[in-house]
Amino acid sequence: MERITDYFGCLVFNDTVMKARLSPEVYGSLKKTIEEGSALDNNVASAVAEAMKDWATEHGATHFTHWFQPLTGITAEKHDSFVSSDKEGKVILEFSGKELIKGEPDASSFPSGGLRATFEARGYTAWDPTSYAFIKGKTLCIPTAFCSYGGEALDKKTPLLRSMEAISKQALRIVRLFGNTDAKHVDTCVGAEQEYFLIDKEMYDKRKDLVFTGRTLFGAKPPKGQELDDHYFGAIKPRVAEFMEDLDKELWKVGILAKTEHNEAAPAQHELAPIYTTTNTATDHNQLTMELMQKVAARHGLVCNLHEKPFAGVNGSGKHNNWSLRTDNGVNLLKPGDTPYENAQFLLFLCAVIKAVDEYADLLRISSATAGNDHRLGANEAPPAIVSMFLGSELTAVLNAIENDTPYSKTERMEMLFGVDSLPKFLRDTTDRNRTSPFAFTGNKFEFRMLGAPSSIADTNVMLNAAVSDVLCGFADRLENCADFDTELHELLKETIKEHKRILFDGNGYDGAWVQEAEKRGLPNFRTTPDCMTHLLDEKNAEMFARTGVFSLAELRSRCDIMLDNYIKTVSIEAATMLDMSRRQIMPAVSAYSAELTARYDKKSGVGKIPFKYEMKTARRLSELLDVMADKTDELDTVFTQLKDIEDVTEHSCAIRDRLIPVMEALRAAADEAETLTAEDCWPFPTYEKLLFSVNL
């Protein structure tokens, strides 16, 4: 029987492979580049390229690609074969250090937000040696950064690497103050929990809205949804289990530490969670995970749907970004220990995160802003659009004691008692969990829960790393130059808690009273993407990114434009799809069924029988709904056409939010009611009932 350990990482050019295939000198130089960020020698690159080519071709690879993450939100790749020819015209396989280090894609064909014009096509990909190369199919994939000819970042990896360097530099200053002279760098580590839906492909393909937009633009709730909570953590059905088993194997081959899998709350919804790793690697792995999910699903006659809210009325899918800080010599800087009140280093890092999240809550909201996620945030499966932090009772009590200079009484851990002698005894955690909090402390890390399922985790971690590094820099400046470290540290903690405790909230984030309370506290509530996106360019944000070296002002402007443009295009495609489905599928089907009912009614009336109320009442209501649909379809077409002429992306996105989406919602409401009155065999595409329950039968 094949064991996981026999094939785990078999398609990864990892440390074990490098150590075996590179000379000690080359291996040592490359490790220094990876671990310490030292410059890469060209001779080392050539030796690595040769070894990488030999290893890849031995595993059946015929091509290589610079695998990068442009601002489309997905990955990109251009394949080149290893094939070359010698002087005699014979085929040889070559891969040079130059080809490993640098590639040249067309920068004008990717979103640039004005950084590159169409006639300015040159861009560069650059090998990221901190993320292992891997084989996908018959292609060697080399993780790379992507920038323009002028050096501006055109991808998600470059700012992420900048932010990781920034927070490492400032966190090292802090740990030095506490006597750690061995650490050489500090890593941010992430575990990205991934939610998704599995839908039968045959049914998926019959719905234009799913095919074109990833979500159902029409659809009435089925008689049973998730009300009984019977799907959550339920027994995994055979077809889904086969998919999960196949997916795990593919992920393990490329070194992804897939750990946990289970049914989620909504029917046909599931989750996968990996083990933590450094943020850069975790980001690459999550992008690859989403791709492999979709490929493996296709083998099983399924579609893996990653849209944030594919079905109205049931839970949408998020991505939980579990974030922590760790030194290279193994110290978790966010681990409170048994006596957090006495753990000054932990308390300082905790306060840095509190201050960063409070001052840059808008950036965290922006990092989760998409047209799809606007449908999910604030629903009962996702946190509200208001960013707040949950610390739990123990840490809250610790901070209160520091702020008020009062004694802190340690909370004793109680034994869990089940009332059954044969069950094991264990100590209960001192703090509960809060699933309604957007940013919750969960023991030795923070969990950011606002991200939508298809989003790259890079954006959130760029924002978080940059903000925390900026705060840590201010803390280090103050503490490095003080006369009395202990006194100054206490005052710094006390001031930070007092100034930023407004961001702390341990209650129910779904409660309407919290919205009012958050407003009193001055916390921003950006309900939609157009509401928040332009705040990316606020002076405080631009200055912070400039100080940390993560984004230039031009790069920020480009990202603001790209994200608003993506919002516009996403909703516009949805509107166009609604028009098509309404005119060519729904209204003809409803009209035909209404005519059938009317014909039945006329036939019965003509022979002197008492007409059934069903035919008369249903036909009348369907006729009324048809009129509403016809009016709303025409209105949607008119508004959609009018908005196309708006050139400014901010104005255009706001107009879509205020004028287009309300008409789309009204059209859907009429169509969904018509679905509930139309015979099942007359409805033109699969309903929620079939989409949500067929896979789990």
Please list the rounded mean pLDDT of every run of 10 residues in the chain (697 residues). Answer: 89 96 94 82 91 96 95 92 79 85 82 74 87 96 92 94 97 95 94 97 97 97 83 88 96 96 92 95 97 97 97 93 94 87 90 98 97 84 85 89 82 63 61 78 93 96 98 97 93 96 91 90 95 96 98 96 96 98 98 91 60 82 97 98 95 97 98 97 96 85
What gap in Å lies between CA 194 and CA 304, rounded to an integer?
A: 12
Residue 579: name the closest of 658, 662, 667, 654 by CA. 667
Domain ranges of the chain: 4-155, 163-214+230-414+436-517, 567-693
Q: Which CATH number among 3.30.590.10, 3.40.630.30, 3.40.50.10210, 3.40.50.1100 corresponds to the domain 163-214+230-414+436-517?
A: 3.30.590.10
Asked if 261 contacts 270 with a C-beta cutoff of 8 angstroms, the reply is: yes
> What kind of fold does domain 4-155 have according to CATH?
Ubiquitin-like (UB roll) (3.10.20)
C-alpha 311: how far from chain center: 18
Spatial separation of the C-alpha atoms in residues 368 and 164, rounded to whole Å: 19
CA distances from 95 to 48, 245, 363 (A): 10, 35, 41
Strands 63-67 and 139-148: parallel
Mapping DSSP to helix (H, G, I), strand (E, B) and coil, where does residue 159 land?
helix
Closest CA to 264 of 318, 217, 307: 318
- Residue 192 and residue 678: Cα distance in Å, rounded? 42
| 245 Cβ contact partners less than 8 Å away, ≥ 6 residues apart | none
pLDDT computed for residue 606 by the predictor: 54
So what's the pLDDT on residue 107? Answer: 72
Cβ atoms of 357 and 467 within 8 Å: the answer is yes
What is the per-residue pLDDT for 642?
A: 96
| Of 166, 159, 125, 116, the residue nearest 145 (C-alpha) | 125
The two beta strands, 269-274 and 302-305, are: unpaired
Between the alpha carbon of residue 340 and those of residues 334, 363, 401, 433, 692, the distances in Å are: 10, 29, 12, 18, 46
User: Taking the model in full, what pTM does it have?
Assistant: 0.94
The type of residue at 502 is R
What Rg, from alpha-carbon coordinates, does the chain have?
28
Residue 613: which residues within 8 A CB-CB, separation 6 or more? none
> For position 456, what pLDDT does the model report?
97
What is the predicted pLDDT for the residue at 380? Answer: 57
Residue pair 92/86 in contact by the 8 Å Cβ criterion: yes
Q: Give the CA distances from residue 470 to residues 43, 280, 345, 349, 545, in Å, rounded to whole numbers and listed in that order.
A: 37, 19, 17, 12, 9
- According to CATH, the topology of domain 567-693 is Four Helix Bundle (Hemerythrin (Met), subunit A) (1.20.120)
3 state DSSP class of 488: helix
Q: Are 80 and 104 in contact (CB under 8 A)?
A: no
Q: What is the 3-state secondary structure (H, E, C) of 193-240?
A: EEEEEEEEHHHHCCCHHHHHHCCCCCCCCCCCCCCCCCCCCCCCCHHH
Given this model, what pLDDT does residue 196 score? 97
Question: φ and ψ at 440, to 5 degrees?
Answer: -115, 140
pLDDT at position 234: 87
